[in-house]
Amino acid sequence: MRAISNIEMKNIYVRCKPRIRGIDAKRDSLIDFNYRFCSSKVYGVVSKSGIGPWALSYLLTGQVKHDSGYIVAGDDSLLSQTQLKQSSCYVGDIIYKGFVKK
C-alpha cells in the first residue's frame, strides 16, 4: 500500500445517513464540494448536521462512495473507495443525546 501525500476532492456529491445511536439522524449531503487536504496537517470539521460533516468523514475513510466528482491523490491518480478505506482509520459514531461518550 502506497502512502497518500495529499487528497484533492473535485465536484464531490455524496449523500448518506449517519449511523448515530440515540439521535434521529437525517440525511447528510456534500454538494459540489471542492477541497485539497495536505499531508501532515490536522483538520477539524465543525458544521450543522445535514450539510456534510458526516458525509465528509465517511467519504474520506471509505465508508461511503461518492455519487459524482473525483477524489485525486497527490500524484494525480484517482483514488477508489477501497484505497481510501485501506489508507485511513475510522473511529466510529458513539454519540448519545446530550453528551459524547469517551
Q: What is the pLDDT of residue 10?
A: 95
Q: Which regions of the chain are under pLDDT 70? A: 1-2, 20-25, 90-102
The answer to whether 18 and 93 have CB atoms below 8 angstroms apart is: yes
Q: What is the pLDDT of residue 96?
A: 47
Q: What is the pLDDT of residue 4?
A: 74
pLDDT in tens, 71-86: 998 888 898 888 888 8
Q: What is the pLDDT of residue 2?
A: 64
CA torsion sign for 62, 53, 92, 25 is negative
73 residue type, one letter: A
Q: What is the pLDDT of residue 25?
A: 61
